Chain A
Amino acid sequence: MSPLQLEKEVGDATAKVGQGNAFKQKWIAREGDGLVKAVNSIKDVTQLDLQEIESTGDLKSGEKLLADLRKRKLVVQRKGQWFTVQKGANFTTSTAKPETDLTADMLTSGAWKTSTFKKYNFEAEGIPPAGGALHPLLKVREEIRNIFLEMGFAEMPTSTYVESAFWCFDALFVPQQHPARDLQDTFYISDPVKSLPPEPAYYKRVATVHEHGDYGSAGYRAPWSHEESSKLLLRTHTTASSAHMLYKLAARYRGEAVEGDEKEFTHGAKSTTAHGESSSNDGFRPAKLFSIDRVFRNETMDATHLAEFHQVEGVVADKGLTLADLIGFMRVFFKKMGIENVRFKPAYNPYTEPSLEIFAFHPMLSKWVEVGNSGMFRPEMLEPMGFPKDVRVHGWGLSLERPTMIRYGINNIRTLLGHKVSIEGIENSAAVMF
């Protein structure tokens, strides 16, 4: 018989295994193209083993051979369970079940005194309550808001997603040719077309300090474009709203009478003054303001960037504030957020001088990571608003998403903000306590 014939007779797989084994046992030999018998009778051990397994469910020869047979897919191992039942101490022929729970009926009838109760499985989970849930990002927002409120900050109105380039950039002394103002980075508005002009005298002071310099500054000495200034855009930072609030704060210095003015900031109490000096009564009232709201960047979206996110911003305005005050204050603020170890790096920001990036030591990553930005607003921004030289304003900002992602161990921002967020994830997000 030729190997080819054999293959046809018993099939490809069987022929392969059988032929190999038969050669190994020297049952057959090769003669020319064909296979011939080498012994007269054979003892098929495998067959005998299989018969033994079938009848006893085991093999005396041992685990090694069994493993071999399993490998050849001749046997499979199945687990079975057997129980042996015997009468126990509580054996009864009555069919009454033990009680699972205490009921109002049992209390009325007194049956609870005689009933037997089923053993409770304390390993089992309780029934999840069918409650609602707040969004994790907003839970962190609440926690940060509370820090501000505890420290005496008032929340600024920030309901102006649409801003003019004037308030978003020019008023902050951001040069008109600054890269942040590029189409690549900022969403501009096509409808409505442009903003109404701001108060003309203030507008002129801002344009002058940019184009020609003023208040002891050389200015950018670059051409000023009114068209650029009146463009509408989606705010790139809430500092646009802060600038508007500071402008309002300086109203008295500009000689404007503000209705209900005496009640602002202090709820009608007399203004407090810096460093315990007596009030010179020039109308200045210190202010501590904050906001946490949405900002927009024309970003290409990826795991760490979205076109919209939340900015946390704080502002302190008072006479005689110092850089040491800012640094000391930042340490307290971040400590309240659970960040103990911070240090400060000089940085560049068009509207603050000095500008400081805040780095915190991340114990898990075991390196310093940037957690926020801060600085003292430039005189070129404050003095056109009308503030006198000795009023200084601290500002700082951080994103709300970053601490939230760290808090919840989230790597992809799209699973935190937007419609792709899992509702189940929201339902299961833990409480936040800094």
Chain B
Amino acid sequence: MPTVAVDKVDLWERLGQEFSSEEFDALCFEYGLELDEDTTAEVEEAKKKGLPAQRPQLKIEIPANRYDLLCIEGISRALQVFLRKTETPRYKLVYPPRTKKIRPLFACAILRNVKFTPRSYASFIDLQDKLHQNICRRRQLVAIGTHDLDTLKGPFRYEARAPKDVKFVPLNKHEEYTGEELMALYESDKQLSRYLPIIRDSSVYPIIYDAEDRVLSMPPIINSDHSKITLNTTNVFIDVTATDQTKLDIVANIVTTMFSEYCAEPFTIEPVKMILPDGSTKISPDLSERRMLAHASYVNACTGLSLNSDQVSVLLSRMSLFPTTSKSNPDEIEVSIPATRPDIFHECDIMEDAAIAYGFNNLPHTFPPTTTVGQPSAINKLSDSIRLEWALAGWVEVLPLTLCSHEENFAFLNHVDDNETAVKIANPKTLEFQVVRTTLIPGLLKTIRENRSHPLPLKIFETGDVVFKDTTRERQARNERHAAAVWCNRTAGFEIVHGVFDRAMKMLEIPRISNADSKAETGYYMKETSGVYILLGGYSLSLISSQDPMFFPGRAATIYYRAPPSKRKASTFQHLKQDAKAALHINDDIVLGTLGILHPSVLEKFDIQYPCSAVEFTLDPFKKEMQKIWTNDE
């Protein structure tokens, strides 16, 4: 959200009233602004010490859609209306007898006989900057230029020219530069270098000329030195260029309406006639008010109030809108929306304004009568039982991050990225966040590394989501809930992680069966990973290969699960490929996870000096069937 610094004394003068910090804070709160800071105390302090002090300022946070509040002129106008000290001004176009010829996605206007003071001049520059940073998306979508009209001669032309054919003296320089030279010149400029990529690689650059071929500006980069405005400028020509008509209009309207108050006749703007490439003409800026219908019944239905249309009208007029109650329909209010309020799209926006004027905190406190049945999600219910059982068994729950570096997820575990498994991040700010984890092990090992000072043994666990690519889904990925535990001590303790896994199975009432027992209906069993020939379509495939090099040779097992016949749904789980099955005489058992002593080279990469054993398995097959809404079906 943008923050605007306004001069405190000026604001009190404009509002015709002085406020204490608390009073003004309360007023802001009610209107939906936030008083961030009042620098009065700071300034007083500086004055006492004899230091140079600025005038006291109020820093006010503005909602991101209220472009009309980005300057002291707009804030004071809105608050004056809200406090019923004045009426909302109506902006007028005053036509002079002259024409200008320009191209599309361009808007312009003239402010005549302006009298700037140093502070209003600064505010004018600041508003342009605030608009550039917010709605203009750092000048990408819209750019504003302001000029001293008396140094120029209309009509103006908005053209596109090859960079080498553009040549002018840019703002605050003394020599001429071509378009190409300007790009080089501003490459090292902290401010302007940010905007160069917007047009740099284009074959032509946009440029504005006056009748005597003098350059006004090369949007969105820089104005010319010739037409620059100063404190003494009295006639201001404003140009606005854009890639999108709606934002162009919003910006042109805000800049002109806000500063029209400094014209000899306040709130007047001189429009400009534009001739478009197709020969048609258009008057710029378009300050026409939009008309919308609002209904007292709708306002009441949404807010819980019972107001009539006159009462709603009074509320709306405090929010800088122009309501007229309908003569034919007592429920209807015709609302004229000034050009300064482009944030109003729908009747609900008008309803909100009425509610703000009424005061959110003055609304009655009711309680929705909606009666429903509560229920936890199946997967969280399941993982909560595992979490509780493992904590009761003496293990400590940790909570590492989901994002990790590519190395931690693959190379550090002696795994190779097959590019079929992990979701990768395009724009991380640091190398710590390159992939979404496909295993819980790296997070657990990092936690052990960071807890060196904790007495041994360390026994930690996590239940959390990992993410796999899944091209069959709309989002091309799927979460899977895993549970994992790592034991770290002077001896590796394979049987200890084995024990904590057995405990989980016991609590889920999954019987242990022998790995040679093909007749058992349901249960889990383990097989030594090394040397097992596996051709999997893969459940947690990334963890499984013919020999898992993450583990110490001969100390690694794969855990299999045979679901009860009623739950064996072909669509739910991936199965062993048919040929592999035939070759190995195994049935529809799924791979649940892995268990073993971590390979010393893995420990070394995670900077751990003691042996560790780890177990990781998926919880998804054990999810209880619940009401349809609460399943994980997408």
Contacts and interface: CB of A to CB of B under 8 A. Distances in A.
Contact of B361 (A134, A153, A344, A380): A344
B479 A159 contact: yes
A319 to B, nearest CB: 9
A137 B400 CA distance: 12
A320 interface: yes
B477 A161 contact: yes
Nearest to B64: A348
Interface string A332-375: 10000000000111111010011110010000000000000000
B490 interface: no
Interface stretch (B116-124, B176-184, B444-452): B444-452
Given A132-B392, A161-B402, A264-B627, A275 B369 contact: yes
Contacts of A138: 387, 397, 399
Contacts of A131: 391-392, 394
B361 A348 contact: no
Interface in B440-459: 443, 446-447, 449-451, 454, 458-459
Range of interface residues on chain A?
A: 35 or more
A426 interface: yes
B446 A322 contact: no
Interface in B358-379: 360-361, 363-377, 379
A51 B301 CA distance: 100
A419 B403 contact: no
Contact of B397 (A132, A222, A263, A264): A132
Interface in B464-488: 465, 467, 469, 471, 473-481
A354 to B, nearest CB: 4
B371 A155 contact: no
Contacts of A250: none
A379 to B, nearest CB: 6
B360 A346 contact: yes
Interface stretch (A71-79, A100-108, A186-194): A186-194
Interface string A182-225: 01000111111011111000000000000001011111111100
Interface in B33-66: 34, 63-66
Contact of A327 (B245, B363, B390): B363
Nearest to B347: A216
Interface string A244-285: 110010000000000111011111010010111000000000
Interface stretch (A91-99, A110-118, A142-150): A142-150
A421 B398 CA distance: 8
Contact of A323 (B302, B372, B392, B633): B302
Contacts of A306: 401
A11 interface: no
A154 interface: yes
Contacts of A331: 365
Given A138-B397, A162-B476, A379-B346, A316 B370 contact: yes
A188 B427 contact: yes
A215 B64 CA distance: 24
Contacts of B419: 191
Nearest to B633: A157
Nearest to B426: A190
Contacts of B459: 132
A160 B443 CA distance: 20
Given A308-B401, A324-B366, A327-B360, A266 B372 contact: yes
Contacts of B302: 322-323, 376, 392
Interface stretch (A24-32, A34-42, A294-302): A294-302
Interface string A169-191: 00000000101000100011111
Nearest to B337: A218
B403 A307 contact: yes
Contact of A155 (B380, B390, B428): B380
A192 B481 contact: no
Interface stretch (B193-201, B206-214, B268-276, B349-357): B349-357
A318 B394 contact: no
B376 A155 contact: yes
B424 A135 contact: no
B66 A348 contact: yes
B425 interface: yes
Contacts of B347: 216
B634 interface: yes
B570 interface: no
A254 B471 CA distance: 27
Contacts of A379: 346, 348
A189 B519 CA distance: 45
A353 B630 contact: no
Interface of A: 130-135, 137-138, 142, 145, 148-164, 167, 177, 179, 183, 187-192, 194-198, 213, 215-223, 232, 234, 244-245, 248, 259-261, 263-267, 269, 272, 274-276, 286-288, 294, 296, 298-301, 306-308, 316, 318, 320-329, 331-332, 343-348, 350, 353-356, 359, 376, 378-380, 390, 392, 394, 417-424, 426-427
Given A137-B399, A161-B467, 7 more contacts: A134-B387, A157-B633, A161-B465, A218-B290, A325-B366, A328-B367, A348-B32
27 contacts: A152-B373, A156-B377, A157-B631, A159-B479, A160-B475, A161-B436, A177-B137, A179-B137, A187-B403, A187-B426, A187-B428, A218-B346, A222-B246, A272-B371, A288-B374, A294-B402, A294-B465, A307-B429, A323-B363, A324-B305, A346-B32, A346-B63, A348-B64, A354-B360, A419-B400, A419-B449, A423-B460
